[in-house]
Structure 1
Amino acid sequence: MINYSLPDPSIIEGEDGYFYLYATENIRNLPIHRSKDLVHWNFVGTAFTDKTRPAFEPKGGLWAPDINKIGDKYVMYYSMSTWGGEWTCGIGIATADKPEGPFTDLGKLFRSNEIKIQNCIDPFYIEDNGKKYLFWGSFHGIYGTELTEDGLSLKKDAPIVQIAGDAYEGTYIHKRDGYYYLFASIGRCCEGLKSTYTTVVGRSKNLFGPYVDKKGLSMSDNHHEILIQKSKEFVGPGHNSELVTDKKGNDWMFYHAVSVANPEGRVLMMDRVQWKGGWPFVKGTSPSLKAAAPKF
């Protein structure tokens, strides 16, 4: 695994047999790593250069990319913000012909002050029943809306719908056996050993909710099930990736956490997600120190 800071991971399998992982990092231009086994990763470059990086928020950082294959293009949705810039931040789009890039920035999709929703970061794209959708949000509600067929614009006159309360960010939705599972993070992400980030989940029969916990209480009222929480060795486990299924049918999730022994940055973590009674769980409800590797 990678032992330097690589938070907010997003992953995709390329046509060349490699998995490609994208993340926030101190590098300004979104680092890209690749692996054939999800365990051993190599740095292959950045999505942008200083000349090609987005600029709609001139002093902004690039955060929390979400990578997807739409048609014959690799499409990356990204957040751009300054710390605390909750009304000027926004979500943009870039495309590439190959997962390793180079990516061409297509610019801003929208900003918080344009759609009057605070802190529009952490995008997540999903296709469902032949339509394309984008979800986003950070501690001021989780929202979603429909996109155009190419995934590059908001669909005209499509409503923006709130699907979860103000406790969450880092949304990811997974469809399985007739349910939609809304994974998200609660707590503080970025305060070193004081970080309280925790990965949670709820489920719904419909993409736009209502999402509920095991008792039927709504995520709109900030109710959920805990998936991964802190341990003695790691704190702040959160902002999970897409689930990746190996050849044995096992599901794996990436996320980040802060090592108690080496608390600089937020290191990349991976755990197996198992299922029981229609709900996902991670063994021990905390980051694993040792586990069997995925099979490919």
Structure 2
Amino acid sequence: MNLKASLAFALLQAAAVYGYAKPGACSGACIIHDPSLIQNADGTYYRFSTGGGISVATASSMDGPWTGIGTVLPGGSSIDNSGRDDAWAPDVQKVGNLYHLYYSVSTFETQNSVIGLATSPTMEEGTWTDHGSIGVESREGDQYNAIDANLLVDGSANYMIFGSFWQNIFQVTLNGDATSPVTAPANVAFDPAGTHAVEGAYLYKYGDTYYLFYSWGSCCKYDQGMPAPGEEYRIKVCRSKSPTEGFIDADGIPCTEGGGTVVLESHDNVYGPGGQGVYTDPRLGPVLYYHYIDTNIGYADNQKQFGWNALDFSTGWPSV
């Protein structure tokens, strides 16, 4: 059986066994990588993504139509790094009266990486102020890679998780205005197997439980070489009663020892979903959003689509 036939068989198996829902509808600007989602005070959806100095699109509903409205960093980041003109993996959260957008400046597959911050009172184009590095950085030989930041505002506390491959996901607590770390990085998730393919984590609180979502597997360049079936991107989760430690999967395996329960993987025409976040939508409730390859369209990175599904936490574990 050739690789494409193996892939088709694996997708059919996933759909039959797990019955994953299809992604919600999307119209307009639906090609995206590493989305981050929020609404402003009047209910307009703002979606940020990797590329073009952090691209911004808006819509009146989750399914669009999405319209591009510009970029956050049109002149690149002020951070002194070779990747300053191609910021990655935005994460947008509201902190006080400001919208905070955290971004990564790096070069692909290196650890010379910095997490930066831009703020805006409205998220409109031209209102963003770049503050440069927040002090979370990495160099070759460090345990972690300082990219893929995500902030959880939990009452008066600000928890930031970050990391990609190497020793995977780390966390720091930020100061009161969420502009710099006040604790040293601590490891919260690590898969010791293979290439340690864990990245892009997102910390979400539901009830009194903290859920650590993350992407596992091979993310990119599928048009240049397909990973073995089952090695492509997928979304996993661990949970804890603490925001800083003790994350386990549904089988009780610690997330620091390779644990992780699958939330969403390849199925039907959906391939390699990941780069996820979770947003509490006032109408839909918790929503998992992500990018994915539509096998009916193509496998290139510049063909990735915006996907979303409502999440059900009724069992204590999220399902789409």
| Same fold at TM > 0.5 | yes
* Residue of structure 1 equivalent to 2:317: 279
Say whether 1:261 aligns with 2:285. Answer: no
User: 1:117 deviation in Å?
Assistant: 3.5
Write the deviation string for residues 51-104 of structure 1: whole angstroms up to 9, x where unpaired.
x53342134421100111112211111011111222x11111111121124311
The match for 2:152 is 126
| Alignment of 1:170 onto 2:195 | no
Which residue in 2 is equivalent to 1:33?
A: 57
What is the one-letter code of the residue matched to 2:175?
A: T
- Structure 1 residues 33 and 81: alpha-carbon distance in aligned structure 2, compared to 1, 3 A threshold: same
Deviations 1:247-273 (A, max 9, x none): 2x5322210011212223221111121
CA displacement 1:142-186 (0-9 Å, x = unmatched): 11111111111112xx23211110442111111112211110000
Out of 192, 201, 217, the position equivalent to 2:237 is: 201
SS class of match (2:87):
strand
2:88 corresponding residue in structure 1: 63
Letter in 1 for 2:122: K
1:182 match: 212
Mapped partners of 2:203, 2:62: distance in 1: 21
- Runs of 4+ in structure 1 over 6 Å off: none
Tell me the distance in 1 between the aligned counterparts of 2:140 and 2:262: 34
Matches within 5 A, 1:213-252: 213-247=249-283, 250-252=285-287
How far the C-alpha of 1:115 sits from its partner, in A, is: 9.9
Q: 3-state DSSP class of the match of 1:220?
A: helix
Most deviating of 180-189 and 120-129: 120-129
Q: Distance in 2 between matches of 1:201 and 1:133?
A: 17
Mapped contact 1:167–1:222 kept (Cα < 8 A):
no
Query: How many equivalent pairs are there?
Result: 275
**C-alpha distance in 2 between matches for 1:121 and 1:99:** 22
Segments of structure 2 that go 5 or more residues without pairing to the other structure are 1-25, 191-195
The answer as to whether partners of 1:244 and 1:253 remain within 8 angstroms in 2 is no
Identity %: 27
SS, match of residue 53 in structure 1: coil
Structure 1: how far apart are the matches of 2:285 and 2:98? 28
CA shift, 1:222, in A, is 1.4
Q: 1:77 aligns with which of 95, 99, 102?
A: 102
Answer yes or no: is 1:148 the counterpart of 2:175. yes
- The whole-number CA distance in structure 1 between the counterparts of 2:125 and 2:311 is 30
Counterpart of 1:48 in structure 2: which amino acid? L
- The one-letter code matched in structure 2 to 1:38 is M
**Which deviates more, 261-270 or 69-78?**
261-270
Q: CA deviation at 1:3?
A: 5.8
Give distance in 2, aligned partners of 1:78 and 1:101: 17
**2:47 alignment partner in structure 1:** 21
Task: Provide the rounded CA distance (Å) in 2 between the counterparts of 1:117 and 1:111.
Answer: 11
Paired AA for residue 83 in structure 1: F
In the alignment, is the contact (CA less than 8 A) between 2:79 and 2:116 conserved in 1?
Answer: no
Task: Say whether the 8 Å CA contact 2:197–2:216 is kept in structure 1.
Answer: yes
State the partner residue of 1:191.
221
The alpha-carbon deviation at position 4 of structure 1 amounts to 4.9
Q: What do you get for the CA RMSD once the two structures are aligned?
A: 1.9
